[in-house]
C-alpha cells in the first residue's frame, strides 16, 4: 500500500509539473521589427504592455529601416513593423505585405548635428567644412532613413559636395552615435531622440526650415503575422495615451496630433 501511495504521488507530481510546463509555454511571442532609434523607448513601452498582458512576450529586432524592410519582403517572421521612413513602409504597404487596415503614422522626430562635449570647434553645419574636421558619420543614405534625411539636409545647406569625401556611412543611426561618443569621428547626424539619451555628446541644431523630408515613424501589422489578434492589440496599445507618454518622455512627438 505504501508503494502504491508513492507511485500515485509521483504520477500526480509529474501531472502537475506537466501542466505547469504547459502554462509556462502558453505565452504568445510577438516579434517587432523597429528602427534602431526606437530601442530604449520601445523596450520600456513593451515592458508596460507585457506587465498588463502577461500572456504576451515581445521580442525586438532593431536595425536600419531599409534592412528591416528587406527582411519582411523576404518573408522574415515578423508581427509588427515600425519604420523611421515612410518610403520603406509605403513600399511594403503597396505590396500588401502590411495589413491594410492596421497601419498608421505614429511618431515624429527631428534631426540634429552632434559632436563630443569637449569639442569646441563645431558650432554649426557650416563648421564641418573646416580642414581639421576629417570624419563625419551619417547612416548609409540608401538604407538608413536618418542618413537619407542627413544627406537631404546637407544638400539643402549646399554643403554636400564639400563634405562628401568626409562622410563615414554606418549601418544605422545608433552606430553614428557610438562613433561620435568614442571619438572615431568628429561629428555625426542623428535624430534628436538619439542625442538625448547620451551624456557624451553636444547637440548642435541644424538651422533652416524644411531641410529634409518630414521625419515620420509609421507602424503597421505585418500581413503574414500568425498572431493577428495579439498584433492588432499591441498596435492599438501604441496609439494610446499611456504609450504616447513614454514616447514623449524620450523626445518623440505624436504624428496623430
Stretches in the chain below the pLDDT threshold 70: 1-25, 257
What's the pLDDT at 209?
Answer: 76
What's the pLDDT at 120?
Answer: 86
Which grid cell is 100? 491594410
Per DSSP (E only), the strands in 64-184 are 80-82, 98-108, 111-116, 136-139, 167-170
Global confidence as pTM: 0.82
For residues 161, 167, 169, 172, the Cα torsion angle rounded to the nearest 10 degrees is -100
What's the pLDDT at 7?
Answer: 46
Compute the C-alpha angle 17/23/26, nearest 5°. Answer: 145
- Give dist(CA 168, CA 179) in Å, integer: 10
Residue 238: count other Cβ atoms within 10 Å of its Cβ.
Answer: 21
Q: What is the pLDDT of residues 142-174, one digit of tens each?
A: 999 999 999 999 999 999 999 999 999 999 999
Which residues, in sequence order, are CB contacts of 25 under 8 Å at separation 6+?
none
What's the pLDDT at 25?
Answer: 57
What's the pLDDT at 4?
Answer: 44
Domains of the chain, each with CATH number or no CATH = 7-108+216-254 (3.40.190.10), 111-205 (3.40.190.10)
Q: Is the distance from CB of 172 to CB of 144 less than 8 angstroms? A: yes
What's the pLDDT at 256?
Answer: 72
**What is the residue-wise DSSP string for 181-248?**
HTTSSSEEEEEHHHHHT-SSEEEEE--SSS-S---EEEEEEETT-S-HHHHHHHHHHHTSHHHHHHHH
Amino acid at each position: 500500500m505504501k508503494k502504491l501511495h508513492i507511485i500515485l504521488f509521483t504520477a500526480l507530481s509529474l501531472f502537475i509539473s506537466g501542466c505547469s510546463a504547459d502554462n509556462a509555454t502558453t505565452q504568445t511571442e510577438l516579434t517587432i521589427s523597429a528602427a534602431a532609434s526606437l530601442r530604449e523607448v520601445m523596450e520600456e513601452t513593451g515592458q508596460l504592455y507585457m506587465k498588463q498582458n502577461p500572456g504576451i512576450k515581445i521580442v525586438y529586432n532593431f536595425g536600419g529601416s531599409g534592412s528591416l524592410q528587406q527582411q519582411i519582403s523576404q518573408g522574415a517572421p515578423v508581427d509588427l513593423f515600425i519604420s523611421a521612413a515612410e518610403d520603406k513602409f509605403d513600399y511594403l504597404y503597396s505590396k500588401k505585405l502590411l495589413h491594410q487596415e492596421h497601419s498608421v503614422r505614429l511618431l515624429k522626430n527631428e534631426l540634429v548635428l552632434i559632436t563630443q562635449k569637449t569639442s569646441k570647434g563645431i558650432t554649426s553645419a557650416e563648421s564641418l567644412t573646416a580642414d581639421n574636421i576629417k570624419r563625419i558619420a551619417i547612416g548609409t543614405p540608401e538604407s538608413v532613413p536618418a542618413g537619407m534625411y542627413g544627406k537631404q539636409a546637407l544638400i539643402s545647406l549646399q554643403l554636400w559636395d564639400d563634405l562628401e569625401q568626409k562622410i563615414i556611412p554606418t549601418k544605422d543611426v545608433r552606430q553614428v552615435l557610438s562613433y561620435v561618443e568614442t571619438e572615431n569621428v568628429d561629428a555625426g547626424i542623428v535624430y534628436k531622440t538619439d542625442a538625448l539619451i547620451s551624456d557624451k555628446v553636444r547637440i548642435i541644431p541644424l538651422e533652416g526650415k524644411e531641410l529634409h523630408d518630414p521625419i515620420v515613424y509609421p507602424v503597421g501589422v505585418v500581413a503574414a503575422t500568425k498572431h493577428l489578434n495579439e498584433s492588432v492589440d499591441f498596435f492599438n496599445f501604441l496609439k494610446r495615451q499611456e504609450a504616447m507618454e513614454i514616447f514623449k518622455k524620450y523626445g518623440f512627438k505624436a504624428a496623430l496630433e
